[in-house]
Amino acid sequence: MRNQLAFSMVSAALLLSPTANASQWQLDAGLGWESKYVSEGRNNLDKGGIGWAHIGANKDGLSLFADVGRGDQTNYTEYNLGIAYGISVSDLDIEVGFTRIEEYPERANSYNELSAIASYGRYHWLVPTVEYLYNAKEDGSFLTLGLESYWELSENLSITPYLFQSWDYGYATKDHNGDNNVQFGVNLDYAISEQWTVNANLNRSIAGDDIKIERIDEGETLDNINQTFGGISISYSF
């Protein structure tokens, strides 16, 4: 699964932008909470949300990170340990990465995930993105095309609405492929200072055929198949 809200649901264009001190190691840490743990359009926990802790470092396009997530009402813990490398070519940003994911304890599971992300940030008000994920254990992939729109409301406050369309090819389900879900939402970021940033987000996922067929195959109804969820996080960079 992907920790896509607490810390990574930020515009890829912003994440890969060079900084004034790009030649030095930049460190960041954060805490976050999500009302539901939704990834690939599915609610992964039977009830409640999930809290996250994050630490990361980056230098000259190389990023290292570690995340720990724990359910607030469900006995679930997830560890993510990863490395990524990003480059910028004119207005095009590209990042490739590797993540080791460990899930405990009710359904002990571990696997490796490869990722590739690209965004074209010539116009901040319309940033097209593409993300490709590959799960080595399941030999499946997940493709997402998106549009993001970044706006500065004030010197410290910005808002980023987004729209994503995703397709599943053996990543979330093995028996069928294709249209997975449409997701849209908004991220609100407030810079308390040069080091401290607060994020709040609200999201809606509309299930596609892949999720619907999976539900039917499992003998479940289509009730509550669409997901509405939000999250908050605070991060510190140094």
Query: Tens digit of pLDDT per residue, the chain (238 long)?
Result: 555 544 443 433 344 344 445 578 999 999 999 999 999 999 999 999 999 999 999 999 999 999 999 999 999 999 999 999 999 999 999 999 999 999 987 666 889 999 999 999 999 999 999 999 999 999 999 999 999 999 999 999 999 999 999 999 999 998 889 999 999 999 999 999 999 999 999 999 999 999 999 999 888 888 889 999 999 999 999 8
* Structural domain boundaries enclosing 168: 12-237
Query: Which of 115, 123, 125 has the alpha carbon at shortest distance from 95?
Result: 115
- In angstroms, the CA 238 to CA 233 distance is 17
Q: How many domains does the chain have?
A: 1
pLDDT on residue 154: 95
DSSP code of 211? H
Gap between the Cα atoms of 234 and 6, Å rounded:
9
Is residue 223 included in any domain, yes or no? yes
Mention every residue, 6+ apart, whose C-beta is less than 8 A from residue 111: 101, 135, 136, 137, 138
At 138, the amino acid letter reads E
Q: Is residue 110 part of a domain?
A: yes
State the CATH number of the domain containing residue 42.
2.40.160.40
Q: Pairing state of beta strands 178-191 and 38-39?
A: unpaired
Which 8-state DSSP code applies to residue 170? B
Query: Which pLDDT belongs to residue 175?
Result: 85
User: In degrees to the nearest 10, what's the CA dihedral of 132, 135, 138, 140?
Assistant: 10
In a domain, residue 99? The reply is yes
Does residue 185 lie within any of the structural domains?
yes
Structural domain contains residue 229: yes
pTM of the model: 0.88
Q: What is the rounded distance in angstroms from the CA atom of residue 98 to the CA atom of residue 79? A: 14
Residue 213 is inside which H or E element, if any? helix 209-217
- What was the pLDDT predicted at 218? 87
Q: Which long-range contacts (CB under 8 A, 24 or more apart) does 94-100 make?
A: 94/16, 94/118, 95/12, 95/15, 95/16, 95/63, 97/63
Per-residue confidence (pLDDT) for residue 22, from 0 to 100? 57
User: Does residue 181 belong to any structural domain of this protein?
Assistant: yes
